A and B are shown apart, each in its own frame.
Chain A
């Protein structure tokens, strides 16, 4: 008996039949859904015979455009799960007033932990990384990022972490320690299960991937710009990408340290954050928020960048106050490292320290306010068109100001003492994250989609989605301000005050409308794919855009630019169009050297996930194998010399001629017709 257990343990560690989620019908159903979903995707791909295509064209691709798209696919998949979890929580709280509801406490705890973790690390981060990946190299006139293979490795590490999150739905229980995973609660003494381990390793995979991404983007922006593209000529989206990358470089290591030390506490019985034995949990709080606060700016700056692109494009004006926007972005990036303590005003430091950090926090409102005025003044006297990206931007401006106000309330330590740990805080950060981050991501997705796929998205469904996202957001989160002020604690599985009922019901309805918003986005995609033939914009410039990304075909060729452009001003492409210099073929074409595909990223990502899974279940051979595979791949790869392929000049010339011919033969579209099939991607020049 012990003999078989021994072998079993060697092979599968702590993984037993009990890991299956039969403790709750909902958990079992969710697990079933994941398994059935995974199997059907697998069968479908096999049936269509698409594995080879996926492998050669996508999985092993190091093209920044493909990698960007794959990131955004991960984001949408994970968002679907996290949003369903949010709806479950909203329903639970609405029905669990003086009654247990349908979710046991343990399950509810898992839900807010996975929801928060996924939304931050596996929805928001992949989404913004994907957008930057796609757009930034095109905007600075580069053919790819500086380290294309590293880019693929980052993608697959993130994918591995997301995969681990999905596996946690099927095998074992996730952490109940929230997205911040505070010890000592998440220590081995109080959470002996595998939950916190899942959290630790999923987050670690993502944080390592993100560190590498930051490094890659920063190097690309500093070293990879086209000739003449000085820093102060970069589109604002590139500036926010740069600041986000710098924040990633400095803010992700604290998270890696926090999760690693927590893991050492749990696996090796160390005492970093334990009660007693010399441990100090405040170290964790500091490490985590040293990451956590810059993180919210990592999340929000790229969205600011999107708004700074969308608003000028749909106002037919140049961006107002470029320099002030650059300075504000930089100021926010720097200040974001000086405020982390506001996340634990109530954890025992002196009033003076709290005051200093409270004031520092409020200071960030100043550069943010500058930005809001710049956006407003950009629209002022412009030819504003209310397309979905623009609608999302407008909703952002209004909602974000409200969220900023409540942020000032929370930044005031005495007031924070009143509302900390209530749903007031939940309302505040969703008020920043949904309009601030998510609207921006959706706006960017709608704005650049035609560039990436060559056809426009359906406007009607875009508007419906917009309506749902805005109405749903206000219904779901404004009530929480009231509830928070009335003292309802966050993370409550059951509540005991019937006065909360109407507000909780409204919030629940709001959550359903938000879910409808996501569904509308999917319907929009489906409808748009069906109608793609009448909405093609191969010429490449559907919105009369201003940056270099619009100066190439849609979708762009693999090499982006047949000839690296020379930049002479801000808004390069707008200038070229104005002076009749756009769409001119160069005298000659040259061979273009591009990096070859590589399986290294896939192997490293999967090995990383295997290593993490082994660690979660104490399957040591798997972890060791994973580690060996990771580093083995790195070393083997360093011996490969044949890493470039050449696209011959003749092929480039053919591709470009096909596009330029098309441009010469389509009718330019005036702005008032840009949302109709008349829009072929060539903008009528405004005299």
Chain B
């Protein structure tokens, strides 16, 4: 088996660390399967949202509540954070010193936290408008979908912090590397889900 063989989808460590690369094969495959279960979960929340879209029960509807400007900035934050995470992964794979990793991971964390802050602010505005999750089926579905994504981003942020500590403690040993690869997949996955939320929830909300 050549060290450059692609053992799993996504960024492979390959010849830069053949031993960890071999281990990563099944570790990362397993994580892809996990992401698949997560994707099913989101798919169902999207479907649920689609069905309940008209269930506003006389309460606030999409057009009144969604602010495209802040959703757009949130999108930019998250997309940029995916980019910086990509840089972190590359730094881990190729960099001779893990210092860059300790630059790009915190940057990603900051962007993620910024996203969460803005999202919470949006939620707070909605709640003060009386658009609470218990107001109507539509709002229940909206909050279920968007805050499930938000919770995932939160979990991702905690995970980044844990990884930063581990890099400080262990350097980039095999387990750290594999976990950063997993975290990367997770982070990019959330980005894709967000793009879907932006299109299905926010953009569609505008034309209603």
Residues of A within 8 A of B (CB): 146-147, 211, 214-216, 218-219, 222-224, 249-250, 252-254, 256-257, 261, 264-265, 268-272, 274, 276-280, 282-283, 287, 290, 635, 638-639, 641
Contact = CB atoms under 8 A, between A and B. Distances in A.
Interface string B97-124: 0000000000000000000000000000
Given A271-B55, A272-B141, A278-B56, A249 B36 contact: yes
Interface string B22-65: 00011001100110111011001100100110111101000000
B134 A271 contact: yes
Interface string B120-145: 00000000000001111110110110
A278 B37 contact: no
B72 interface: no
Nearest to B40: A253
Given A211-B37, A261-B48, A641-B170, A270 B26 contact: no
A269 B175 contact: no
Nearest to A260: B144
A224 B30 contact: no
Given A249-B36, A280-B55, A222 B137 contact: no
> Interface residues of B: mostly helix, strand, loop or mixed?
helix
Given A261-B48, A280-B55, A271 B137 contact: yes
A269 B25 CA distance: 45
Contacts of B30: 146-147, 215-216, 219
Nearest to B176: A638
A277 B136 contact: yes
B33 A641 contact: no
A153 B37 CA distance: 17
B200 interface: no
B4 interface: no
B26 A146 contact: yes
Contacts of B20: none
A223 B37 contact: no
B37 A252 contact: yes
Nearest to A277: B57
Given A280-B52, A638-B166, A215 B34 contact: yes
Contacts of B170: 641
Contact of A264 (B36, B138, B140): B140
Nearest to B169: A639
Contacts of A211: 37
A630 B48 CA distance: 29
Contacts of A256: 41
B179 interface: yes
A501 to B, nearest CB: 46
Contact of B41 (A147, A253, A264, A269): A253
B162 interface: yes
A224 B138 contact: no
Given A147-B30, A270-B133, 7 more contacts: A257-B48, A271-B57, A272-B140, A277-B137, A278-B55, A278-B138, A287-B44
B91 to A, nearest CB: 21
Interface string B132-164: 011111101101100000000000000000100
Interface residues of B, number: 38
B127 to A, nearest CB: 13
A639 B170 CA distance: 9
A259 to B, nearest CB: 12
A224 B23 CA distance: 12
A269 B135 CA distance: 9
Max chain A C-beta neighbours (<10 A), residue from B59, B140, B162, B175: B140
A224 B25 CA distance: 10
A254 B45 CA distance: 9
A278 B44 contact: no
A219 B29 contact: yes
Given A253-B41, A270-B134, A270-B140, A283 B25 contact: no
Contacts of A252: 37
A373 B179 CA distance: 48
Given A261-B144, A278-B52, A638-B166, A250 B33 contact: no
23 contacts: A146-B26, A214-B37, A219-B30, A224-B26, A249-B40, A250-B36, A250-B40, A253-B37, A257-B44, A264-B133, A264-B144, A268-B133, A270-B133, A270-B134, A271-B55, A272-B48, A272-B141, A277-B137, A278-B52, A278-B136, A280-B137, A282-B51, A639-B169
Contacts of A272: 48, 52, 137, 140-141, 144
Contacts of B138: 278
Contacts of B45: 257
Max chain A C-beta neighbours (<10 A), residue from B48, B51, B173: B48
B37 A215 contact: yes
Contact of B179 (A222, A261, A276, A638): A638
A271 B34 contact: no
A278 B144 CA distance: 15
A276 B140 CA distance: 13
Contacts of B169: 639
Given A219-B29, A261-B144, A276 B41 contact: no
Contacts of A641: 170, 173, 175
Contact of B26 (A214, A223, A290): A223
A363 to B, nearest CB: 23
Contacts of B166: 638-639
A216 B29 CA distance: 10
Contact of A283 (B52, B54, B143): B52
A644 B98 CA distance: 26
Nearest 8 interchain pairs by C-beta: A278-B55, A278-B137, A223-B26, A270-B140, A269-B134, A278-B57, A253-B40, A219-B30
Nearest to A223: B26
B78 to A, nearest CB: 23
Max chain B C-beta neighbours (<10 A), residue from A253, A276, A278: A278
Given A253-B40, A253-B41, A272-B140, A223 B29 contact: yes
Contacts of B44: 253-254, 257, 287, 290
A207 B72 CA distance: 36
Interface string B166-180: 100110010100010
Max chain B C-beta neighbours (<10 A), residue from A253, A269, A274, A280: A253
A287 B141 CA distance: 14
A680 to B, nearest CB: 38
Nearest to A276: B57
Given A253-B44, A257-B45, A279 B137 contact: yes
A683 to B, nearest CB: 34
